[in-house]
Structure 1
Amino acid sequence: MPDISKAASPRENAEGMAIVGMSCRFPGSMGCEAYYQSLLSGADLFSPPPRERWSWCADDAVVVRRMGGLDDVFSFDNALFRLSPREAETMDPHQRLLLEEVWLAIEDAGYHPEIFARRSTGVFAAIYNQDFQFYTRAGDWDEISRMYLAMGSAHSIVPNRVSYVFDLHGPSEVVDTACSSALVALHRAVEAIRNGECEQAVVGGASLLLEPSRLVMLQDLGLLAIDGDCMPFDRDSGGQVLGEGVAAIIVKPLARARKDRDFVYAVIGGTGVNHQGARSGGLTRPSAAAQADLMRRTYARHRIDPETIRYVEAHGNGGSGDVSELLAFQDVLPAGTPVGSVKGNIGFLEAAGGLSQVIKVVMAMRHGVLPGTRSHRHLLEDEALSDEACRILQADTLLEALRGEGKQPFTVAVHAYGLGGCNAHVVLREPCSIARAGMTEAALPLLFSGEDVTQTAELVERFLLWLAEDPAVSLSDMAFTLATGRPARRHRLAIMASTPAEAATRCRAWLASDRAERAEGHPLDDIVRDWLAGGAPDWNLHLSGSRIGIPLTAWRRRHYPLPPLKGGASGEVPA
């Protein structure tokens, strides 16, 4: 069990929090890099509603033509998570997919889940979609399956299942503030770390469309764009476009991330939440004054100068609330501050939406280009809104063009408001560059370990597939991550190499051999020999380099569809 006495000190927390791992599946993409590239290309990522999921409904009453859908929400590797097929089939797909994204985010951070769990870890899951409840009531489940449904369908179990499967011992909470859920979950995670409740945190969000009643309800309320084109902040917008998504990020104190030699995607400079109270005159009507007040309080608490905000990734869903956001920004930020919204590309992802915003800007910091806002043409009109107050970023733009004078880290704000009045604001900044170790001519050990030679060989094969995609990766980073981020099993292999190319050659040579040797390449020093003999040297003392994501998991997914309904097909949308 983790030692909670090792929680970060106030001094460590004062430097801010770091995002050290990410994973996502959003419309048109799997993974953060694919997602970012799809935004840069300005691709149309909308598709027809997934009627095959509710083929039992003869007349679903859906008239919207497009939404931001995921291609496959029913495949799941139950064996990886030690779940029986029977239990897996009774789990809400939100639970299943979030488990996978958390695993991928941990791996992206450079850790095997077993190593990651050694620190007290909180789990904060944003979810509010109730679609699976319909299938728990109307599905044709047998007696054994019904025993699992209580755990498979309860929202409280979503974070609890993550904590259980990964053996995590910090807070484990659902966050449901409607549209702002993901950013509120991120705020809750940051505060839990600051307060010593955990040393690091997983923040996840999931939203899927499993049956049509919610889509029809939003459509009948006049909130959705019938043509399926989301136009953020546009005077001619026809409404919102619903989307699906699942994502997870890993957060820890920046000082701790540096000590652990983690790759830092971005620094969380500050977070804040509030409720609008009765200011707007309606429970579901966003309040510009409340959003502006939240921004001021967040900046004051974290000593952030509004003048340093170079861009805002806004909620901007093409609905009536767009004007409230712009009025809030006009009230607090310098005139002309660029504003954008990813919803023009992928739609409104509900509980997962905030993470789609965060991952977009974090990837932009990594690559140096901020994707433009798709489908914005003409700024919406309001008598209180100045044309010069905010500038909608329509084209892909170099960060250098937005940075301004000086060498300050590029700083952005991410903003969201919830249907019931809960607002959230997050400030992110790019990390300071760390001096990298130079090229080494000395051979470094690349360590692989499985329960037997077959498992070790599978790890080597997957390593080669990954290395082929990025052959320029640092050898010292590979060596450090493999040595410190993965558990040592019974069968151990050391590949000695002085360049990535040599590493690939030696890996292939070992795979082509009889695999009897425990090492490939020379020279072997005493530390490597000790490890091969079953020892546990502290590789932090012997290897330079930083932690990187090396995906070595073999995914063996099975298809777990929604159940048939009792008594066969129905011709109506569920009430």
Structure 2
Amino acid sequence: RRADVFAMDGDTRWPGGCEGRAGVWAQLRSSGDAIGSARAARWPYEATELEVLGEGDRRVVEHGGFLRAVERFDHRAFGLSVAEAGCMDPQQRLLLEAGYVALHGAGARRSALLGSDAGVFVGIERPDWALRNARQPLGSRPSVFSATADTISVAGGRLSFALGLQGPCVSADTACSSGLVVLHSASYAIRGGECGRALVAAVSLKLLPNATLGALFAGMLSADGRCKTFDARANGYVRSEALSAMVLAETRIGGGRLLAASAVRQDGRSASLTAPNGLAQRSLLRACLAQAGEQRGRAHGVEAHGTGTSLGDPVEMRALAGVLGEATRPVQIGSAKASAGHAEPASGTLGVCKAMLQLSASQWLGNARLRRLNPLVAESVPPGRAGGWCFPLQPGQDALSSAGVSAFGYSGTIAHCILGAGGADAAHERGAGARAAVLVRHSFIWYDDVQPLAQHVEAAEGRTALRSPAAGALLALVRDHAIRGRCVFPAAGYLEMARTASCAADALTAAATLRGVRFLRPLLLDAAEGLWIACEVVAASGRVEITSGRDGAEERALHSACELVGALAPAAVSKPALPRLRAIAGSAVCTAALYAAFREAGLEYGPTYQTLGGAWAGDGGSFSVARLRRPPGTSQGVLIHPADLDGALQLTSLLSPSSGGGGGGGGGG
């Protein structure tokens, strides 16, 4: 006889702000709606990736189920520095906390875990964090922690490292079945004696719209952003985030449920790579039932994969009918996706969480959004079958002793498990006399820097053009540069825009040599409605032009022009020794007095453009040196902030006319 394995749900976070057993149960019992706006939670409506979409498609990708406060993390609890924690994929941070909370809730303390054979099994899919990091400005230096910040393999390894676990450690990506696949692997590791207990976790965060766009173009997403599982209105799914962690062990822990059986199969050759295979699903269910045995495998309810697609739901129901159709009582059917959306790699563990809650309460929950049963689903049970199906609309009491859970990956890997009641009683429910883990969280906020000077990049044969609206990020970059009360685009901004465009034309360099730079016409930003700024590089001639115009108008104004000579050789860049130059220079210059002189001359620099933290002038005005005071991490998405370059131009005011400098308080431009 196989050894019994019990599962105890540990830490669960669902979209819509639902956390823990009580929060999730309240949402599911009320058939609540966890779907919200991506614009408010993750990516802006004006994101560059969305430019190719029409208004209708933009509304589709705006929907999603999102976790709250994912930037909060207790780095001290895991011995992490602020720098490393800030560099980590937020999914890794969530897994650390959820894994520790789950093990703590199962009675495992750190002293006992250290050096133990406890295993870690993580379901996770393509981290958006890696793609986000790849977008950093060319030439920016990666963190020393970047190598381990965003890889799938480290997601599980970091948990084992932080807690000192020496059992098997696996991070798996089988798409939407990942969570159930690692649950299956963990149960076999325990039964095979590889580990005494196993942490099973799955996570999914949607940090960028790229994968959502892919699902949209593939025709997978619901037009109104809701999973209408089993309903005649089913038209696709909505992507969601989730986090789930549970502990598996041979000994039943408080509130644990018997994991009677689990199985994994592959669709193999189906209609297409992502199309479901009903025959493979039947094989999966039969394997699971045979493993559980007649008594334990008698499912009273099934938490279906149920994404709410017109193809997938009927195929799944026909497979269930072909295997469970001889049931002597109606089988309760449901899917959490109707409330919480499709959490993809974490969807299977969310199904397990919901099934365990229903078994605890002996209550099968209603199906959210079910108004009229899909006729193809209704036809899935041949007439004359004794039991049939029940798609409850409201919660109802039922003597539930077992439940099945399905998760099907579009990779073709499919999984199913059967949970038994496990003889739980109120005295053994989680929380009875147990202390909760205490975490002191801090904010590690991230945001995707928009390159203000290169918000739209167009590349054609022999020509590269950057185009940005004179609003939002660009206006924030230059708003502190004012001349006689009017916001004027700085000369330093033209230089940085020309450098950025040159580098976009030649992706191998972050530096460029510009020759013959001319500033031809000031660009006033007081009335910036509909105004845009463009920089064009012609490869054959090296000509660089920066122009402006207004939406709907053909007329363009030329503001700056130069020639691109080529990349700047690293050897040509010399770094002056600031302490030595300061020692050679005369007395320090009062920067407050310097900026007061600028104001009298009409150069009204705001705080961002008052970058000279200290300045020194050489004897006779032959040279000047300064220390910029811009703090790290305030580049606003550009490699060289125009204010820093403007500070260098401001420094020329300390040079005497005879030395070739500006002199006379000329300042920047």
Superposition TM-score, scaled by structure 1 size: 0.71
Among 74, 84, 88, the residue aligned to 1:87: 84
CA deviation after TM superposition for structure 1 residue 307, in Å = 7.0
Letter in 1 for 2:66: G
**Correspondence for 2:23:** 34
Among 438, 451, 455, the residue aligned to 1:570: 455
Letter in 1 for 2:415: A
1:43 to 2:6 alignment: no
Asked if structure 2 preserves the Cα contact closer than 8 Å seen for 1:289 and 1:328, the reply is: yes
> Any idea what SS the aligned residue of 1:366 has?
helix
CA deviation after TM superposition for structure 1 residue 148, in Å = 1.2
Per-residue CA shift, 1:37-85, capped at 9, x if unaligned?
Answer: 1111222221111455334825624321522111222221111111111
CA deviation after TM superposition for structure 1 residue 266, in Å = 0.8
Shift in alpha-carbon separation, 1:78–1:142, aligned structure 2, 3 A? farther
Letter in 1 for 2:366: G
Shift in alpha-carbon separation, 1:44–1:53, aligned structure 2, 3 A? closer
1:19 and 1:307 map into 2 onto residues whose CA distance is 17
**Correspondence for 1:443:** none
Shift in alpha-carbon separation, 1:190–1:306, aligned structure 2, 3 A? closer
Asked if structure 1 preserves the Cα contact closer than 8 Å seen for 2:332 and 2:364, the reply is: no
Shift in alpha-carbon separation, 1:414–1:292, aligned structure 2, 3 A? same
Superposition TM-score, scaled by structure 2 size: 0.62
> Any idea what SS the aligned residue of 2:394 has?
coil
Asked if structure 2 preserves the Cα contact closer than 8 Å seen for 1:45 and 1:345, the reply is: yes
| TM-align CA RMSD | 2.7
> Any idea what SS the aligned residue of 2:358 has?
helix
**Correspondence for 1:362:** 356
Shift in alpha-carbon separation, 1:307–1:85, aligned structure 2, 3 A? closer
CA deviation after TM superposition for structure 1 residue 107, in Å = 2.1
Among 287, 290, 308, the residue aligned to 1:300: 290
Asked if structure 2 preserves the Cα contact closer than 8 Å seen for 1:225 and 1:240, the reply is: yes
1:149 to 2:146 alignment: yes
Asked if structure 2 preserves the Cα contact closer than 8 Å seen for 1:177 and 1:420, the reply is: yes
Among 43, 56, 63, the residue aligned to 2:59: 63
2:156 and 2:147 map into 1 onto residues whose CA distance is 15
Letter in 1 for 2:299: I
1:379 to 2:373 alignment: yes
Shift in alpha-carbon separation, 1:433–1:345, aligned structure 2, 3 A? closer
1:422 to 2:416 alignment: no
1:348 and 1:434 map into 2 onto residues whose CA distance is 32
Asked if structure 1 preserves the Cα contact closer than 8 Å seen for 2:296 and 2:402, the reply is: no
**Structure 1 runs not aligned, ≥5 long:** 1-10, 404-409, 438-469, 479-547
Among 290, 296, 299, the residue aligned to 1:309: 299
**Correspondence for 1:346:** 340
* Higher Rg of the two aligned structures: 2
Per-residue CA shift, 1:287-343, capped at 9, x if unaligned?
Answer: 111111111112112324587210000000101211111011100103542211010
Shift in alpha-carbon separation, 1:78–1:569, aligned structure 2, 3 A? farther
1:390 and 1:317 map into 2 onto residues whose CA distance is 18
> Any idea what SS the aligned residue of 1:47 has?
strand
**Correspondence for 1:265:** 256
1:200 to 2:205 alignment: no
Once the two structures are superposed, the pairs formed by residues 105-124 of structure 1 within 5 Å of their partners are 105-117=102-114, 119-124=116-121
Shift in alpha-carbon separation, 1:569–1:92, aligned structure 2, 3 A? farther
Letter in 2 for 1:75: R
Shift in alpha-carbon separation, 1:82–1:142, aligned structure 2, 3 A? farther
Letter in 2 for 1:292: R
**Correspondence for 2:440:** 555
Asked if structure 1 preserves the Cα contact closer than 8 Å seen for 2:255 and 2:425, the reply is: no
Among 167, 170, 176, the residue aligned to 2:167: 170
**Correspondence for 1:223:** 220
2:42 and 2:457 map into 1 onto residues whose CA distance is 14
Asked if structure 1 preserves the Cα contact closer than 8 Å seen for 2:41 and 2:66, the reply is: no
Asked if structure 2 preserves the Cα contact closer than 8 Å seen for 1:138 and 1:565, the reply is: no
Relative to structure 2, which stretch is displaced further, 550-559 or 237-246?
550-559
Per-residue CA shift, 1:81-125, capped at 9, x if unaligned?
Answer: 111111111111111111111111122223333334464111111
> Any idea what SS the aligned residue of 2:63 has?
coil
Matched residues, number: 440
- Percent identity, please: 28
Higher helix residue share: 1
2:393 and 2:108 map into 1 onto residues whose CA distance is 37
Relative contact order: is structure 1 or structure 2 higher (C-alpha 8 Å, sep ≥ 6)?
A: 1
Letter in 2 for 1:551: A
1:153 and 1:325 map into 2 onto residues whose CA distance is 34
2:113 and 2:106 map into 1 onto residues whose CA distance is 9
> Any idea what SS the aligned residue of 1:203 has?
strand
Shift in alpha-carbon separation, 1:264–1:307, aligned structure 2, 3 A? closer
CA deviation after TM superposition for structure 1 residue 390, in Å = 2.8
> Any idea what SS the aligned residue of 1:292 has?
helix
Shift in alpha-carbon separation, 1:121–1:363, aligned structure 2, 3 A? same
Once the two structures are superposed, the pairs formed by residues 304-343 of structure 1 within 5 Å of their partners are 304-305=294-295, 308-319=298-309, 320-333=311-324, 334=326, 336-343=330-337
**Correspondence for 1:510:** none
Among 169, 172, 191, the residue aligned to 2:188: 191
CA deviation after TM superposition for structure 1 residue 565, in Å = 5.3
**Correspondence for 1:396:** 395
Asked if structure 2 preserves the Cα contact closer than 8 Å seen for 1:141 and 1:563, the reply is: no
**Correspondence for 2:69:** 72
Among 269, 273, 286, the residue aligned to 1:283: 273
1:179 and 1:240 map into 2 onto residues whose CA distance is 12
Shift in alpha-carbon separation, 1:283–1:229, aligned structure 2, 3 A? same
Asked if structure 1 preserves the Cα contact closer than 8 Å seen for 2:265 and 2:284, the reply is: yes
1:215 and 1:324 map into 2 onto residues whose CA distance is 24
